[in-house]
Amino acid sequence: MSDFQYKNEERIIFTKEMKKTYKILIPNMLPIHFELLRNILIVEGYDCDLLKYEGEDVIKEGLKYTHNDMCYPCLLVVGQFIYALKSKKYDVDKTALLITQTGGGCRASNYIHILRKALKKAGFPQIPVISINLSGLEKNPGFKFSIPLIKKLASALLYGDMIMNLYNQTMPYEIEKGSSLKLKDRWVLNLSNQYKNSTGFGKKIMTKNFNDIVSDFSNIKINKTKKVRVGIVGEIYVKYSSTANNNIEKFLHKENVEVIIPGILNFIIFKADNRIVDIDLYGGSKIKKYICVEFKKYLEDLQKIFIDSIKKNKNFKAPASFEETKKGVLKYLNYGVKMGEGWLLTAEILELINSNIKNIICVQPFGCLPNHIVGKGMIRKILNNNENVNIITIDYDPGATKINQENRIKLMLASAKENLK
Amino acid sequence: MENLIYKIGLDVGSTTIKSVVLKGEEIIFKSYERHKSMAVQKTIELLFKIKQIIKNNPFTISITGSAGLGISQKGNIEFVQEVYATKIAALKYKKDVDVVIELGGEDAKILFLSGNKEVRMNGSCAGGTGAFIDQMAVLLKLTLDEFNEVALKHKKIYTIASRCGVFAKSDIQPLINQGATKSDLAASIFQAVVNQTIAGLAQGRQIKGKVMFLGGPLTFFEELKNRFKETLKLEEKNAIFPENSQYFIALGASLYSASLTEKTNIDEIIESLKKQEKKEIKTSLSPLFKTEEEYIDFLKRHKKSDVKTKDINEYSGNCFLGIDAGSTTTKIVLITKDDEILYSKYLSNGGEVVSIVLNCLKEIYEKIENSKNKITIKSATVTGYGEDLIKHAFLVDFGIVETVAHLKAARHFVPDVDFVIDIGGQDIKCFKLKYGAIDSITLNEACSSGCGSFLETFATALGYSLKDFVKKGLFAKSPVDLGSRCTVFMNSSVKQAQKDGASIEDISAGLSTSIVKNAIYKVIRAKSKEELGKKIVVQGGTFLNDAVLRAFEKELEINVTRPSISGLMGAFGCALYAKENQKESSTILNLEQLKNFSYTVKTATCFKCPNRCTLTINTFSDKQTFVSGNKCDSYKKDEKPKEIKNIVDFKYNLVTNLPKKTNKKRKIGIPLVLNMYENIPFWVPFFEELNFEVVLSDTSNKKLYEMGQYTIPSDTACYPAKLVHGHIESLLKKDVDFIFYPSMTYNFDEHISDNFYNCPIVAYYPEVIKANVKTDKKLIIDPIGLNNKKFFEKKAFEIFNKYFSITKNEIKNASNKAYEGYLKYKQKIVEYTKDAIEFANEKNKNIIILADKPYHIDPEINHGIDKLIASFDSVVLTADSISFLTNEKIKTTILNQWSYHARLYTAANFVTKTKNANLLHIVSFGCGIDAIVSDEIKEMLEKNNKLYTCIKIDEIANLGAVRIRIRSMFAAIEEAKKNKKQIKEHIYV
């Protein structure tokens, strides 16, 4: 019932020919994950560049080519692409763009279309845009999803989550400054090399890699002082992209805070889970449900290995599994709430509180529709049900100034520090 | 006690700097002054003063405030977050306080100290703060003291939008023009601040117990205190206004510093601040003028667009009068038959437009009398916000819409002009011309207005006159890049610039550039500068400032024409119109009549319909009255209504009268909100078949909204969503067993889109209600879909069986009735639509299709726009009525997956194919999906030479601005008709 039907759209197809000669530009949405993702694509024979442009000029281009009231992530992604294309660094007749597409009732499902519109207006109608999605939305002969590729990409997300998680647990306490960062970079390189040798994504090797990553991070010398711990949840792009969130992680680290950011894997499982729930609530194809159930199971199996390998080490706290995260939220929302981050956002807040992380920042683009419900809409109830919880919400958009945002964070940190005593 | 350490607390806010020095428990020094955006310098001066007192004794110091963060880094002083500082002070001095409300220059904060401790401050919105009151005082031409004094004498409170300063302003302006008293306005503004604090900050948490009020505004404004006390229903003993309230935060900082390490050398801090004082700012623009010569050339070039003036004593013959009664200024021009100016005036009206025009007219008549020659005012035209009022008061011959007036004037200077932009005190108006007709009109949306007057308020706040302030920017070396969003955000950007130590010159030039960018990229939404055209005329008072004009030319990289009478163009255009349309003799009051002219202003409330409009009644000396503030004409008793086709009205009546059955024992309440406007025809027969009495929530109005305001968690959600809270409150007061408001991800598949989603707000707002509204009634919000009847029956049984006993068969019967009922409803809509189209074709009327959502039929949401359009002798239809009729799926370049929005494409497509149809897009502020849709519809329409008009609505209850847009739209439709005829004639000749 929620399947898309796309008929004869007019779009530039990414052909097999293009694969050989084109450069693919990818927006950098999660630093570690996307680094791995790019390296996988390079191994697959694509020529790719990860875009790291940020700042005023990117925003300017975004403002020029998207509607005033469009959400900030859309504006940034469009701005970043157009800025890159105008930079003369790329041959615009031999460049393609890659963007993720989630589908669903949130505006994000339209980013790709708005991007194409913007490209036309900016004078780059010839540029093909490749959609990465799990719904079989748009197909391109030059960019095919084989099962091994999907497995590789899934493994990259898990590795990314793990490195991010352990890095965040280690870095604030490291004795030798920079040692966690070095290790992080080393593992990104190591994994990329594994992909090059067509390995790294089977269950067995993943188990080994997970264990090795955990053990490497646990070998970093730390001094576990008592620090304020702050969890970050929110709209997926603003939550992870430093371009969008004015580098909130760095700011918090400077304020002597341990930052906890829930990984992306649960979001992917959430998207699969939605499709299953949807069929239960509104009817739909049994075959589709079966596929989704299988895909979800595959990811959850990997998640179990992931969690177990962290649990084995006493120094680290493992994140909660998808099912655990999902359980707690029913008191707040029904599982049908699926648009955007849906019930998962609320569930992540609850999960953080459960793990005794009571300082939480919920970030979102200004005017984010789903977050009126699952973010801001649930906070009152969360505060009523939980003691000493300290949540703030911060809106991001081109006009919001860093000083206001940091001021608000400082305020929450002041209370957090008091609670720490 | 010699060895008690000095504790220094500094509080550097957006506009002021406060300090407190404590010795032990005793305040030995305190100060409060405006820093005029020279925060660092003032801090240094202040520290010098403090040094005189504390000498070389050890001390502790901390700094707080929005500008304090930057200074703390520069001077290496410990920063303490200001709300936290407030909390420290509050706990120290008033231990039993439950809530602290603090209003500052640009910040508003609320602290909950008892129970679950919480601190909140305003986010991206700076509305409802001290700066807002400053701005409003300027608007009313009152000093802050006077403002407070008149407010104390108020008799009536008007509803003024409380969300943001810009909105409030557009509410107040028309009230001023309608002659509302300053007393009532000032008090209403305070009330708006109170509402903003409660809605924006408390966000659902009730303010009760002992409340302490802090900050400048709450120290100085007695009436603001009263408003708070009254609104929060606080007893005298529970409302605490402490001494030293304006120093309270500095006091907190001072107390906080006690926990820090001692320092001994205050000079060290001063030195490091001095070093930072003149640091370069990162983002800066190139100067407006690099050299004096450049400026002189620029002036010479613009001198060319001059209008000749003529001494009235040397003229004889007919003359023509133009009056532009604008929102903040009144402009009057008298011209000769050769378009020379005999007399002109540009005056700030400060709320008294009638007496200003009266005085000018008297002056003109005197001049005419004193002249030796015979001069006759042959005809007169008026335009602007005050058009109706002035037309009635002085019997002016013609009233025209502003856009038409401005176009007339622009053509006088550049006959083949293809783009006109007018930046006035409050509005940006611009229109593109194609083949000599108005092609599109753009007015600033409510969220980005305030252009000219913003500059003025800012200048005043910094202690300069507007002229001086803007002038300062002309030769600024590195203008600050202040971004290009709405003025409220600009405030924060300026704050940031101040923090970075930008000079007044650079800020001034930056603001001039921002206004220009705002106009080009926000209002006109130009993708490229070429899009605007080649022959551009700029006008409006704001362009009289060379810095703004220069910034505009720099941004577009072309030279534009600024007539020397840039500020008078509306009036000049009116005079030209008067000349072109002159009659035998003018009806305008003569000198004799003017001498006897007097008028009084009264207010009243109209009870003819649920809108409860506040009417302002002007009574003139000839006993004629002029009523404004009305949304429709129903206040007039005796006039026979014309035949009107307005489907909005039809649907609203249809939907609200659906429940028929009564049953004292079984009652189910349904809130008439969002998607329920669409689904009521389904659910009423459903529940009535199940032997329920269906009780709908009360009619929407401001009161109902305010009733639910305290549970709204996200203030930036759309108004239709925020209204839900009031509807639920109204149901809670009724005798119902259940409240039914299901979550609905999907709609019916109408086969006009790729998917049939509701937007996230419509789909899941029931969840917000469940989580935020306390209720003793059973709330049924389970997710359900209606598209698949069989599946619906299965699910409906599962769901309702949880709440009351029911059989599968009963569900089946109810479901049959429900689907039937919905179908019948759709058929009725289709019939009415067909009728209306036929009616329009027969009677040769315009059809205006509101590109709207189902909930826009709520009069509290649409503010009577439908009735306004109908009053222009047009047929009103809606997006759903057209899409029910045609059922057409439209190919779009974007993902067409929301049902309600899919109907907009279908409606737009219908308009492109229907000669007498035009579209008006109604957007509720905050509708994210419309951001995607509006560009798409606009393209569809423009490709087919149709006009795209979009109106953004929110809580704003005044139709003044909307009226202009709609009149402009009709003027453009008329022009297009004429123009088509001309083209046709060309072909056939």
CA B947 to each of CA A81, B402, B478, B712, B944: distance values in angstroms, whole numbers, following the listed order: 32, 18, 41, 37, 9
Question: Is B123 within 8 Å of A395 when comparing Cβ atoms?
Answer: yes
Contacts of A124 in chain B (CB under 8 A): none
Structure tokens given for B512: 């001039």
* Phi/psi at A391 (5° precision): -115, 135
3-class secondary structure, A360: strand
Q: CA quadruple B495, B498, B503, B504: dihedral positive or negative? A: positive
In chain B, which among 824-853 make CB contacts under 8 A with chain A? Answer: none
Q: What is the dihedral of CA B851, B856, B859, B863, to 10 degrees?
A: -50
Short-list B207, B216, B269, B234, CA closest to B60? B269
What distance in Å separates the CA atoms of residue A221 and residue A170, rounded to the nearest whole number?
9
pLDDT at B530: 67
Short-list B496, B480, B552, CA closest to B286? B480
Element (H, E) at B173: helix B165-177
Contacts of A10 in chain B (CB under 8 A): 893
With an 8 Å Cβ cutoff, is B118 touching chain A?
A: yes
Three-state secondary structure of B447-508: HHCCHHHHHHHHHHHCCCCHHHHHHHCCCCCCCECCCCCCHHHHHHHHHHHHHCCCCHHHHH
Structure tokens given for B143: 């000093």
Q: What are the pLDDT digits (tens) for B232-248?
A: 888 888 888 888 788 88
Q: What are the pLDDT digits (tens) for B607-634?
A: 776 667 777 788 887 777 788 766 666 6
Q: What are the pLDDT digits (tens) for B20-56?
A: 999 988 899 999 887 766 788 889 999 999 999 888 8
Confidence class for position B831, pLDDT limits 50, 70, 90: very high
With an 8 Å Cβ cutoff, is B905 touching chain A?
A: no
Q: Please check the confidence at residue B436 and state whether its pLDDT lies above 60.
A: no
Q: What are the pLDDT digits (tens) for B719-772?
A: 999 999 999 999 999 999 999 999 999 999 999 998 999 999 999 999 999 999
pLDDT at A262: 96
Cβ proximity of B341 and B596 under 8 Å = no
pTM higher than 0.90: no
Name the β-bridge partners of B78.
B62
pLDDT at A155: 95
Confidence class for position B203, pLDDT limits 50, 70, 90: low
| ipTM entry | 0.94
Burial of B452 (0-12, 13-18, 19+ CB in 10 A): buried
Q: Please check the confidence at residue B521 and state whether its pLDDT lies above 90.
A: no
Cβ proximity of A84 and A57 under 8 Å = no
Q: What are the pLDDT digits (tens) for B372-410?
A: 888 899 999 999 878 888 998 899 999 988 888 888 899
The topology under which CATH files domain A16-141 is Rossmann fold (3.40.50)
Structure tokens given for B600: 């009084």
* Mean pLDDT confidence for B75-93: 84
Q: What are the pLDDT digits (tens) for B311-341?
A: 988 999 999 999 999 877 899 999 999 999 9
pLDDT at B271: 87
* Residue in this structure with the two tokens 């004078």, named with its chain if needed: A123
Cβ proximity of A60 and A133 under 8 Å = no
pLDDT at B986: 36
- CA end-to-end distance (rounded Å), chain A: 53
Q: Tell me which of 3.40.50, 3.30.1360, 3.30.70, 3.40.1580 is the CATH number of domain A226-263+319-420.
A: 3.40.50
Q: What is the mean pLDDT of chain B?
A: 85
What distance in Å separates the CA atoms of residue B357 and residue B387, rounded to the nearest whole number?
11
Short-list A328, A420, A319, CA closest to A378? A328
Q: Please check the confidence at residue B985 and state whether its pLDDT lies above 50.
A: no
Q: Measured between CB atoms, which of B203, B283, B928 is closest to A69?
A: B928
Q: How far is A207 from chain B (nearest CA, A)?
A: 39
- Nearest chain B Cα to A393, which residue? B123
Structure tokens given for B953: 């609505």
Q: Determine the distance from the C-alpha atom of residue B493 to the mean position of all C-alpha atoms in its chain, rounded to a whole number.
A: 20
What distance in Å separates the CA atoms of residue B469 and residue B420, rounded to the nearest whole number?
26
Structure tokens given for B398: 């013609």
**Alpha helix positions (H), B315-401:** 353-370, 387-394
Find the length of chain B.
989
pLDDT at B819: 98
- Nearest chain B Cα to A384, which residue? B116
Confidence class for position B870, pLDDT limits 50, 70, 90: very high
State the DSSP string of A160-216. Answer: HHHHHHHHHHHGGGBSSTTHHHHHHHHHHHHHHHHHHTT-S-SHHHHHHHHHHHHHH
Structure tokens given for B873: 């002798």
Cβ proximity of B419 and B537 under 8 Å = yes
Count of CB atoms situated within 10 Å of the CB of A218: 17
What distance in Å separates the CA atoms of residue A407 and residue B499, rounded to the nearest whole number?
13
Domain boundaries, chain A: 16-141, 226-263+319-420
| Domains in chain B: ranges and CATH | 6-94+253-277 (3.30.420.40), 99-241 (3.30.420.40), 319-414+574-595 (3.30.420.40), 419-560 (3.30.420.40), 599-628 (no CATH), 648-659+666-825 (no CATH), 844-988 (3.40.50.11900)
pLDDT at B435: 60
pLDDT at B81: 84
Q: Measured between CB atoms, which of A67, A393, A411 is closest to B934?
A: A67
**Helix-then-strand count for chain A, H and E:** 17, 8
> Is A226-263+319-420 the same fold as A16-141?
yes
Q: How far is A155 from chain B (nearest CA, A)?
A: 30
Confidence class for position B875, pLDDT limits 50, 70, 90: very high
pLDDT at A178: 95
Contacts of B66 in chain A (CB under 8 A): 403-404, 407
pLDDT at A73: 92
Q: Which residues of chain A have pLDDT under 50?
A: 1-8
Q: At what angle do helices B487-499 and A402-420 cross, to 10 degrees?
A: 70
With an 8 Å Cβ cutoff, is B791 touching chain A?
A: yes
Q: Measured between CB atoms, which of B116, B714, B926 is closest to A383?
A: B116
Short-list B184, B179, B174, B131, CA closest to B153? B184
Confidence class for position B250, pLDDT limits 50, 70, 90: very high
Q: What are the pLDDT digits (tens) for B124-159?
A: 455 567 777 877 787 788 888 899 999 999 998 887
* Residue in this structure with the two tokens 């070998």, named with its chain if needed: A219
Q: Please check the confidence at residue B906 and state whether its pLDDT lies above 90.
A: yes
Confidence class for position B964, pLDDT limits 50, 70, 90: confident
What distance in Å separates the CA atoms of residue A175 and residue A171, rounded to the nearest whole number?
9
CA B79 to each of CA A98, A409, B49, B73, B407: distance values in angstroms, whole numbers, following the listed order: 44, 13, 21, 8, 55
Q: How far is B902 from chain A (nearest CA, A)?
A: 13
pLDDT at B529: 65
In chain B, which among 428-487 make CB contacts under 8 A with chain A? Answer: 481, 483-486
- Nearest chain A Cα to B716, which residue? A367
With an 8 Å Cβ cutoff, is B611 touching chain A?
A: no
